Structure 1
Amino acid sequence: MRWLLRKCTVCGKYTLNQERCPYCGGMVKVPHPPKFSPQDRFVAYRYMIKYEVKSFKHVIGKE
């Protein structure tokens, strides 16, 4: 099933528009979390990326 609902990354409003927010023109993303699977083969890679980004933000001074 495809997700139809999108959320604006700028103003936080929900829309059905796939490209841009009709209110502010910001980018939209899918607000639903990914499906969970106990047999997830890529969880180690996602954790590595998550902690690399977190440590990079700490190094450049953004929280």
Structure 2
Amino acid sequence: MKSKIRRCNKDYTYTMSERCPTCGEKTFIPIPPRFSPVDKYVKYRIELKKGVKLSC
């Protein structure tokens, strides 16, 4: 089983569970995803950062 440390966005506590033990909010993994030079979704992330509406 692979487990990573997670962080609560509300009170910034670190935990290993899906929910924060102090406030009950959903936690997330604070580590960014690995970079890949062959990224097929880079176009969508750039458009999302610029605020451009995606047309599929």
* TM norm. shorter chain > 0.5: yes
| Aligned position for 2:34 | 35
Q: Secondary structure at the match of 1:50?
A: helix
- In structure 1, runs of 5+ residues without a counterpart are 54-63
Residue 3 of structure 1 contacts residue 30 of structure 1 at CA under 8 Å; is this kept in 2?
Answer: no
Q: State yes or no: 1:7 paired with 2:7.
A: yes
Residue 8 of structure 1 contacts residue 28 of structure 1 at CA under 8 Å; is this kept in 2?
Answer: yes
2:4 alignment partner AA: L
When the two structures are aligned, how many residues end up with a matched partner? 52
- In structure 2, runs of 5+ residues without a counterpart are none
Instruction: Using structure 2 for the length normalisation, give the TM-score.
Output: 0.75
| Distance (whole Å) between structure 2 residues aligned to residue 2 and residue 31 of structure 1 | 16
From the two aligned structures, give the one with the greater helix fraction. Answer: 1
Seq. identity, %: 42
> Displacement of 1:4 after TM fit?
2.1
Instruction: Using structure 1 for the length normalisation, give the TM-score.
Output: 0.69
